Amino acid sequence: MKTNNVTQEMREIAEIQIKELQKQIEYDTKDYTLELLISKFKKGDFFIPEYQRKFVWKPKNKSLFIESVILGLPIPFMFFAGCDDGRLEIIDGAQRIQTIIEFAENKLKLSKLNKLTHLNGFRFNDLSSAQQRKFQNRTFRVVVLDEKTTDDVRQDLFNRINTTGVKATDSEVRRGSYPGKLTHFVEKCCDNKDFTSLCPISKSKSLRQERFELVLRFFAYLYNYQSFVHDVNSFLDNFLSDNQETFNEDQYKLDFEGMLAFVKRNFAYGFAKTKNAKATPRVRFEAISVGVALALKEKSNLVTVDTSWITSNEFKELTTSDASNNQGKLVRRIEYVRDRILEQ
């Protein structure tokens, strides 16, 4: 057991520092409707300081944020700080406010929405009068720092908010957004011993739901790969949402476990490239898993086959190119594996 080298004197000095810095941060919490936020920003009562980053959200980010507001989803707190002249400085929330104003002034056309798909192409004025009023009456919670808060503390808070957070992966968001039978089933598949053995994943990626991502891709592509266009996230979201309660669990289980048993018998390194690999590329997993399952659907009595083509330049090219969003290459790499197995 390690000896604690922290002395009583060190504790007392640390306590003094903590209390001194705690005195520098006093705040209040206020709720503002969007209508009031817009009005006060345009009047100059709320302003963006020079140290803030420029307005960098892409159109898709803006649209998805507006979609969240319309749906009434919880929006993270914004942080303001009081000034001597009575105005409030926006420490965090500038992009949200500017997006809201852009939409309210009909300068933003919604696009690529995941939920409210019928609003794609809409501007604010295209909403019904009732929805316009509801939008303007949405309430945002704002943490307002006391005007005595120093500039150093304000900029430090901005830097902490914008650099210390870890963005959720698409798979983490998806897993949390679509609870139900299919999600639960995919989670169970992630714990399959053959799957974890044949498909090495780093601990950090495993914690960020990479196994959930791979299993979901297997089912989505197996049953619907020819309908895939180019947006993987929307494709997976729609598959998980559409099949949540209606999927055939027995068939899914049979396809998944049958595919794993075949890979275990025929591929020396499973889905990995080498014996000691610590990771499994997504495109390689998709090609092998879905290709094998498609072959087994045509010839269920296949047991062992020659898989020497796994080291061919053609397979390497199909599974090492940056082609996860390319429909043509997705189809080619999946059907390449299927056809190499079936031709035997």
Domain-embedded: residue 20: yes
- In this structure, the answer to whether residues 154 and 182 fall within a common structural domain is no
Whether residue 226 sits in one domain with residue 141? no
Is residue 1 situated within a structural domain?
no
Residues 137 and 213 in one domain: no
**Do β-strands 88-92 and 139-145 pair in parallel, antiparallel, or remain unpaired?**
unpaired
* Average pLDDT rounded to a whole number, residues 331-338: 93
Same domain, 135 and 243: no
Q: Are residues 242 and 109 in the same domain?
A: no
Tell whether 3 is covered by a domain: no
* Helix, strand or coil, per DSSP, at residue 32: strand
Taking only the tens place, the pLDDT of each residue in 117-164 is 999 999 999 999 999 999 999 999 888 887 776 666 666 666 665 554
Name which of 211, 287, 215 is nearest 257 in CA terms. 215
- For residue 290, what is the enclosing H or E element? helix 282-298
Let me know if residue 181 belongs to a domain.
Answer: yes
CB atoms within 10 A of CB 223: 18
Q: Of 137, 163, 189, at which residue does a domain stop? A: 163
pLDDT digits (tens, 9 = 90+) for 280-325: 999 999 999 999 999 999 998 888 889 899 999 999 988 886 555 6
pLDDT number for residue 28: 78
Residue 2 lies in a domain: no
- How many domains does the chain fold into? 2
| Domain membership flag for residue 316 | yes
Last residue of a domain, one of 147, 163, 179: 163
**71/33 same-domain check:** yes
65 falls within a domain: yes
Residues 135 and 192 both lie in one domain: no
Query: Do 115 and 244 share a structural domain?
Result: no
Based on the fold, state whether residues 219 and 151 are members of the same structural domain. no
Please tell me whether residues 208 and 338 are part of one structural domain: yes
Q: What is the pLDDT of residue 16?
A: 78
CA 6 from centre of chain: 41
Q: Do both 246 and 270 map to the same domain? A: yes
Q: Between the CA of residue 33 and those of 77, 91, 138, 142, 252, what are the distances in Å?
A: 13, 18, 5, 11, 47
Same domain for 187 and 155: no
* Whole-number pLDDT of residue 302: 86
State the DSSP string of 43-102. Answer: HTSEE--TTSPP----HHHHHHHHHHHHHT---PPEEEEE-TTS-EEEEE-HHHHHHHHH
Band the pLDDT of 168: cuts 50, 70, 90: low
Domain boundary among 163, 191, 223: 163
**Full domain range(s) for residue 178:** 170-342
Query: Is 80 a member of any domain?
Result: yes
